[in-house]
Amino acid sequence: TASKEETKQISPAFDGATLTNAKNGGVEVTDVAQGSMAARFGLRKGDIITGVNRSDVKTINDLKKSLEKVKGRISAIRINRNGGTLYITLK
């Protein structure tokens, strides 16, 4: 589990979110602070992050590594929400 303090280090866009490794792979958003950067980017409690650009994300560590590779560039975060897939763009 990554606390709100740790998620800011993964990416400023995740500031205010609490993340945990999801049971079936991916990274689950277990909480999002109201008015936080994560909330402004559109993350919601219950979202499962499954990818960054074309890389699959199975753990918080994968998420960290994928975002380090694209540092400073625009990246698309693939999210599973209520059984559907959507993308959030991070700059």
Query: Structure pTM?
Result: 0.90
- The number of residues making up the chain comes to 91
> What confidence tens digit (pLDDT) does each residue in 36-63 have?
999 999 999 999 999 999 899 999 999 9
Q: Partners of 78 in the beta sheet? A: 51, 87
What is the b/e burial string over 51-82, where b = at least 16 CB atoms within 10 angstroms of the residue's CB? Answer: bbeeeebeebebbbebbeeeeeeebebbbbee
Residue 2: DSSP 8-state: B
Q: Is 49 exposed, middle or buried (0-12, 13-18, 19+ CB in 10 A)?
A: buried
Tens-digit pLDDT profile for residues 7-36: 777 888 899 999 999 999 999 999 999 999
- Which phi and psi angles does 4 have, rounded to 5°? -60, -35
